[in-house]
Structure 1
Amino acid sequence: MKFALHFGNNTFPDAAGAARLARLAEKAGFDSVIAVDHVVIPDEYASTYPYSATGRLPGNRATAYPDPLIWMAFAAAATTRLRLMTGVIILPQRHPLVLAKQVATLDHMSGGRIELGIGVGWLKEEFAALGVPFERRGRRADEYVAAMRALWREDGAGFAGEFVRFERVSCNPKPVARGVPIIVGGHSEAAARRAGRLGDGFFPSIGSQVDTLPLLDVVRRTAEAAGRDPAAIEMITGCPGALPSSGQDPLAAVEERRARGIGRVVLPVTAFLPDLEESLPRFGETVIRAFAGT
């Protein structure tokens, strides 16, 4: 069982904070730290934020959302083993060739410690500000994944799709493993089917207002239908019962997730504030160590 901390970059948006969190997480035994993504937040929007009962993003117009990849570079430079993941980058908003270069460079320079969590987005007004069509963003994301993988896999790559087209181009440096794990995020059946078709993992974002656990079976069924091994797709979920403030037995809560086939549990870093220097090592000793090797 692996453990991750979520909301790293918007909780610690400065360089010193990024390094502090990353070093403490690594020392405590966490596998990864996750960074969120928004390029801009419109002052007014009608779209519904799906991960809060209020339907609104937490914070205000001054809330910092550091670019996840740049923030991850700071965290990677401060550590040697910790993995870094976007959770999730809004893939249709990014040019796939530029993003492929950025992610491959970061993976290369970190020694293969990067995971690309992707989503299709919910904030229509943000898409409008960026000049990116909101419609058919799912299909666009699928093509972007295929195009990036082609660039990561080989030189002289080509791709011919509806939204992306190139031939005989090379993008270097390559990721350490000639690829970067693609973790599909989202709380819908469409996201679960995308994970089953093309994902290396599935992360139904914590805070969803719907029960996302049934989506795990959607992932597995879709993978089987696509001729893929469902067991090869890592399942990543939240685990509220493991939080220090839950009042529950954290070991029992994590074991329940493990029994469901979950490979990594994600906890908000805010649950360990303000005393990270005490709370993270304590969690590492009492919970993470108990599941080492499972």
Structure 2
Amino acid sequence: MKFALHFGNNTFPDLAGATRVARLAEAAGFDTLLAVDHVVFPDNYTSVYPYGPSGRLPVGRGGAFPDPLIWIACAAAVTSRLKFLTGVIILPQRNPLILAKQVATLDYMSNGRFELGIGVGWLKEEFEAVGVPFAKRGKRADEYVAAMRALWAADGASFAGEFVNFREVSCNPKPAGRVPIIVGGHTEAAARRAGRLGDGFFPSIGSSVDPMPLYDVARRAAAEAGRDPGEIELFAGCPDLLPGSTVEPQAAVEERARRGVNRIVVPVGPFLPSLEESLMRFGETVIRPFAGA
């Protein structure tokens, strides 16, 4: 079982904080550190935030919220083994050629330690501010994935689609390896997208939706697309592992493993304020005993 630490960039937005949490996560034995994405926060919005009971974003307008790619570049520079994942970047809002260049550069310069977590977004007012249509954002995301993979695969790449068109262009450096694309989201559409084209599926740990039926949707979609369902890495939250829980870690980890989960994601917030002590204890009591499970 692999373990990931979530909400790095909005919890530790400055360079000192990024350095601190990245080095601690690596020392504790975490496999991955995640960074989240929003370009802007509208002052007024009617869209419903799907990952909390209030339906409102849990952050205010003035909070520091670094770009995840730049934040990850800083954190990767002070580590050597830890991997990094956008959890998730709002793919339809990004130019796919520019993002392909950024992702390839991050992966190249970190020696293959970057994974691209993608989502289609929920905040319509943010799309309007960025100037990207909210409609067809799922189809746009699918096309962006295909276009980026074409750019990473070979020089002289061409692509013709509804939203992206280019002919015989090269984007270098290429990634150090194949960049895994992890599809995030709490809906069946997200699960189907993960099965069709993703390397993994990450239902949000903040959602109250039971992920098990979504895992089945992802597996069926993979099979229908002629892919091996077992190759879709499954992510899950696990509140029972957080500080203060009375549940035995072994039972919690084994329960996720029975569901086919490959990587457990925990938020960094509950480890505060004694971050050093709490993360190292988690490493000793949870990560190391189950790292090979």
| TM-score category of the 2 structures, normalised to the smaller one | over 0.9
Q: Where does the alignment leave 5 or more consecutive residues of structure 1 unmatched?
A: none
C-alpha distance in structure 1 between counterparts of 2:112 and 2:256, whole Å = 27
Q: Secondary structure at the match of 1:213?
A: helix
Q: Say how many residue pairs are matched.
A: 293
The answer for the alignment partner of 1:116 in structure 2 is 116
Between the aligned partners of 1:219 and 1:126, the Cα distance in structure 2 is 28
Q: Which runs of 5+ in 2 are unaligned?
A: none
Partner of 1:42: 42
Name the SS for the 1:53 alignment partner.
coil
In structure 2, the residue matched to 1:5 is: 5
TM-score by length of 1: 0.99
How far residue 211 of structure 1 moved from its aligned partner, in angstroms, is 1.7
Partners of 1:124 and 1:285 lie apart in 2 by: 43
Secondary structure class of the residue paired with 2:38: coil
Kept in 2: contact 1:242–1:251 (CA 8 A):
no
The one-character-per-residue Cα deviations of 1:246-273 (angstroms, maximum 9, x if unpaired) are 2221221111001111000000000111
Aligned mates of 2:130, 2:220 — CA distance in 1: 35
Once residues 247 and 7 of structure 1 are traced to their aligned partners in structure 2, the CA distance between those partners, rounded to angstroms, is 24
Quote the Cα distance in structure 2 between the aligned partners of 1:123 and 1:149: 26
| Paired letter, 1:205 | S
SS of 1:49's equivalent?
coil
Task: Give the fraction of aligned pairs with identical amino acids, expressed as a percent.
Answer: 73
Residue number in structure 2 paired with 1:199: 198
Distance 1:245 1:94 in 2: 39
SS of the aligned residue for 1:150 comes to helix
Which position in structure 2 is the counterpart of 1:23? Answer: 23
SS of equivalent residue, structure 2 residue 212: coil
Q: How does 1:33-182 map to 2 (within 5 A)?
A: 33-177=33-177, 179-182=178-181
What TM-score, normalized to structure 2? 0.99
Give the structure 1 partner of residue 235 of structure 2.
Answer: 236
Stretches (4+) displaced over 3 A: none
- Give the CA deviation at 1:214: 1.1
Partner amino acid for 1:236? F
Is contact 1:88–1:117 with CA below 8 Å preserved after alignment? yes
**CA distance, structure 2, for counterparts of residue 108 and residue 270 of structure 1:** 30
1:17 Cα deviation (Å)? 0.3
CA distance, structure 1, for counterparts of residue 175 and residue 210 of structure 2:
35
Secondary structure of the residue that 1:149 maps to in structure 2?
helix
1:214 aligned counterpart, secondary structure: helix
Residue 35 of structure 1 contacts residue 88 of structure 1 at CA under 8 Å; is this kept in 2?
A: yes
Q: Distance in 2 between matches of 1:50 and 1:211?
A: 14
Distance of 2:292 and 2:267 partners within structure 1 = 23
Checking the alignment, whether the CA contact within 8 Å between 1:15 and 1:74 is kept in structure 2 is yes
Q: Bigger CA drift: 25-34 or 245-254? A: 245-254
| 1:202 maps to amino acid | F
Alpha-carbon shift at residue 170 of structure 1 (Å): 0.2
Conserved? CA contact 1:36–1:87, under 8 Å: yes
RMSD of aligned Cα (Å): 0.7
The residue correspondences of 1:201-280 to structure 2 (distance < 5 A) are 201-280=200-279
| Contact 1:50/1:209 (8 A) holds in 2 | no
| Cα distance between partner residues in 2 of 1:250 and 1:17 | 28
**Cα deviation, residue 292, structure 1:** 2.1
Task: Give the match's secondary structure for 1:155.
Answer: coil
Partners of 1:25 and 1:173 in 2: CA distance: 28
